Amino acid sequence: MWLLKGMTPDHKTISEFRRENIRPMQKLFREFNRLCQSWEMIGGQVIGIDGTKVKASNNKKRNYSRKKLEERVRRLDEKIAGYLEGSEWADAEEAEARSPQGMVELLNRKELYERYLREMDELGVNEVSEVDPDARLMGNNRGGVEMSYNVQSAVDGKHHIIVAYDVSLNPADHGQLSNMVRKVKKLGYKRFKVLADKGYYNGADLRRVKRQRVTAIVPRQEASDPKDQPEAYHTDQFKYDPKTDSYTCPAGHILYAHSKKGSPRRKFFDKQACQNCQNRNDCGRDKRGYRTITRNEHADIYDEVDANFRRHNDLYKLRQQIVEHPFGTIKRAMQGSYFLLRTRRKVRAEVALLFLGYDLKRAVKVLGFQGIMDRLTAVLRAVLANIWREREKITRAPFCALSSRV
């Protein structure tokens, strides 16, 4: 609107422009990030990562799970059977008055639902949507479910600029951390600390983050201990010693490994110690009569991440204001709580547009409008100067070639 001196295109023009420029919108987001880097608005030291569910352009009634489709096919078979059974005893006059259109509609619906079931088998999915085929049924923070996308964002800790994003079809955040770290590293930042909530506490994913030489600060997911068990005997009170490859229980007894190293789930226990322990009733036993501690294949990376979290607990407290504030602003102030476009490819472009708008608001807040315009003018002058130099090289090239021949 500023470039066009206040001229406002109508909704159709905006819609067509958005539809025809899916890729350029995403490139524009990345280009503005490069500008923010050159203006030193991105620190690249601390990155907050989080995900949020954003409503898709698809009604829940137009989404079908495998169970729902199988139930509907069963009910349609009953209706079709009842229709045919009724046709057998109907007299000629009733049969003539009875329209076949209802039967055709039932058969068409059954064929459609069976086709959806075949597509689910071919794609290996458990649900299908009619309007937006990529949308998925996800839980929201209000305790319900709706058709949504899981939008992931990476926000820099210096001025809360969104530096990277992704759109996931998985309702959970498990497995998303290393993917977002990889996107941030493409901006040129090699070593940084990443803050994420316990939804990202996944061993295989945290190991991939470590291979990327990034420090992950993620709170652990607490073990599911019995409610009536005293806290002093919870699983996290059993301490592992890597030197002796054993656990020490709260009473001081040593629990030795009874599985080989490298096993997916190793078991540690000491039958004799548990039988003679005076705290065995509080500690809890399984049906075999002794306490067993299980250590999975990712326990070492969990221990490392837990140590990082304890060491950087004060830094982790900044996570919410870094990464959750942008989502609140986009959903409330910018009316970005739902998508207008359909399919994951187009939704990515809409996310890029929303996040670009947020980053512009942050840049204006930090630098001021005139400050941004002055910097853009400097960029424009540099581009024009480069074009002028290239033009001079082209115009002088024939003269230089002629002089060399002479």
The mean per-residue pLDDT over the stretch 99-111 comes to 81
Same domain, 53 and 144: yes
* Average pLDDT for 97-106: 70
Q: What is the pLDDT of residue 82?
A: 79
φ, ψ of residue 53 to 5 degrees: the values are: -90, 130
Closest CA to 325 of 56, 48, 40: 48
User: Which of 218, 392, 209, 215 shows the shortest CA–CA distance to 313?
Assistant: 218
Q: What is the pLDDT of residues 158-196, one digit of tens each?
A: 999 999 999 999 999 989 999 999 999 998 888 899 999
Q: Is residue 395 part of a domain?
A: yes
Q: For the segment 389-404, what is each residue's pLDDT rounded down to a tens digit?
A: 888 877 766 555 545 5
Work out the burial of residue 30: count CB atoms within 10 Å of its CB; fewer than 13 is exposed, 13-18 middle, 19 or more buried: middle
Residue 12 contacts residue 163 (beta carbons within 8 Å): no
The pLDDT score that the predictor gives to residue 96 is 44
Parent domain of 178: 11-58+139-220+307-367
Average pLDDT score over residue span 214-236: 84
Same domain, residue pair 144 and 213: yes
Same domain? For 323 and 273 the reply is no
Q: Is the pTM of this model over 0.85?
A: no
Averaged pLDDT, 312-320:
94
Q: Please check whether residues 158 and 256 belong to one and the same domain.
A: no
pLDDT of residue 404: 55
Q: Residue 124 falls within a domain, yes or no?
A: yes
> Would you place residue 405 in the very low, low, confident or very high pLDDT band (cuts 50, 70, 90)?
low
Q: Out of 298, 320, 336, pick the residue that ends a domain.
A: 298
Q: Does residue 209 fall inside a structural domain?
A: yes
User: What is the token pair recorded at 252?
Assistant: 């001081």
Section 335-342 average pLDDT:
92
29 neighbors 352 (Cβ within 8 angstroms): yes
Whether 325 and 192 share a structural domain: yes
Identify whether 5 is part of a domain. no
- 160 Rama sector, left if φ>0, alpha if ψ -120 to 50, beta otherwise: left
What is the average pLDDT score of the chain? 88
Sign of the dihedral defined by the CA atoms of residues 121, 126, 129, 135, in that order: negative
Q: Do 145 and 277 fall into the same domain?
A: no
Lowest mean pLDDT among 33-42, 266-275, 373-382, 397-406: 397-406
Mean pLDDT of 209-231: 86
Q: Are residues 207 and 159 in the same domain?
A: yes
What stretch of H or E contains 240? Answer: strand 239-241
Indicate whether 327 and 202 sit together in one domain. yes
Rounded distance, CA 292 to CA 269, Å?
5
pLDDT, position 97: 41
Q: What is the pLDDT of residue 24?
A: 93
How far is the C-alpha of 88 from the C-alpha of 94, rounded, in Å?
A: 11
- 19 burial via Cβ count (<10 Å: 0-12, 13-18, 19+): exposed
Q: Residues 148, 54: one domain?
A: yes
User: What is the domain-level CATH number for residue 333?
Assistant: 3.30.420.10
Residue pair 22/345 in contact by the 8 Å Cβ criterion: yes
How confident is the model at residue 278, as a pLDDT?
Answer: 84
- On whether both 203 and 143 belong to a single domain, the answer is yes
What is the SS3 assignment for 378?
A: helix
C-alpha–C-alpha distance, residues 11 and 188, integer Å: 38
Total domains present in the chain: 4
The reply to whether 4 falls in a domain is no
Instruction: Using the Cα atoms of residue 208, residue 136, residue 154 and residue 304 in order, give the sign of their dihedral.
Output: negative
- Asked whether residue 248 carries a pLDDT value surpassing 50, the answer given is yes
286-307 b/e (C-beta count within 10 Å ≥ 16 → b): eeeebbebebeebeebbeebee
Fill in the amino acid letter for 89.
W
pLDDT of residue 262: 77
Residues 195 and 318 reside in one and the same domain: yes
User: Is residue 2 a part of any domain in this protein?
Assistant: no
Kindly report, residue by residue over 254-294, the tens digit of the pLDDT. 999 988 887 888 999 998 888 888 887 888 766 777 888 88
Q: Is the dihedral of CA 382, 386, 392, 395 positive or negative?
A: negative
Examine the domain organization and report whether 25 and 143 are in the same domain.
Answer: yes
Q: Is 162 contained in some domain? A: yes
For the range 202-205, what are the long-range contacts, defined as Cβ-Cβ under 8 Å and sequence gap of 24 or more?
Answer: 202/174, 202/175, 202/177, 203/296, 203/297, 203/298, 203/299, 203/301, 203/302, 204/175, 204/298, 205/174, 205/175, 205/176, 205/177, 205/178
In a domain? residue 251? yes
